[in-house]
Amino acid sequence: MSNIRHFPGGAELRPAPRARGPYRKKVTAAEIERAVRVAEKLGLTIYGLTIEGDKVHVQTKPGPENGAGPASAADDWFSRRG
């Protein structure tokens, strides 16, 4: 014997739980511009810009205080290719 009783009409169906979307913070144009401006203000030569999710990586040539020397391999490469 069963103690479970089924009533006609039944219970209301619950809506399916909503799946949250990918809420990753993305880099804004202002943050990219700020990173480039800071590098230029410091007098660094910018060789590349990489964006990974919410991070901006500015690839620069080391300054003279960092022991860059007279000419680096990157300078030679860029001078040959323009």
Question: Amino acid identity, residue 62?
Answer: P
Q: What is the pTM of this model?
A: 0.49
Query: Which 3 state secondary structure label does DSSP give 60?
Result: strand
Nearest to residue 56, comparing CAs of 38, 44, 43? 38
Distance from C-alpha of 7 to C-alpha of 58, rounded to nearest angstrom: 67
Q: How far apart are the first and last CA of the chain?
A: 89
Query: Would you write out the chain's pLDDT as a tens digit for each of its 82 residues?
Result: 568 776 777 666 778 888 877 777 788 999 999 999 998 898 888 889 999 888 899 998 765 555 555 666 777 777 887 6
